Homo-oligomer: A and B are copies of this chain.
């Protein structure tokens, strides 16, 4: 499968919207339902179509992603009038160098073992379609197709 690629022009506007929201609802197709839990995407990371999260290997969401990788990331800042829906596919990444690179001290509240802990994996969510409502505008962004503005 040839994958359409994200270009910086596609993602720049979305990056600006979500960089300060940080915590999203990470929604999986779980057995029999659609299930969300709040997760931080590490605000510092430059958004290029990929969202990175830390998770324990044995958490239910990892099993859910292995069974069905389709996920939704819901970024909501109602007080700012910003809602961003990221549809994508999640992948489990076990890469120690990447874990150290993405690690932030704040994460120690959830992951006491730090980035060296083998029980901790990365979840990479590659966006396939992004729909954003912000500043009174509505945008749909898809890799290769650029930013489409919807009149409402």
Contacts and interface: CB of A to CB of B under 8 A. Distances in A.
Oligomer: number of copies: 2
A34 interface: yes
Contacts of A37: 83, 85, 131
A28 B38 CA distance: 17
A147 interface: no
A64 to B, nearest CB: 11
A31 B35 CA distance: 17
Interface residues of A, number: 32
Contacts of A123: none
A10 interface: no
A32 to B, nearest CB: 7
B34 A70 contact: yes
Top 4 A-B pairs ranked by shortest CB distance? A25-B74, A34-B72, A36-B85, A38-B83
7 contacts: A25-B76, A27-B74, A27-B85, A34-B34, A35-B87, A36-B74, A36-B131
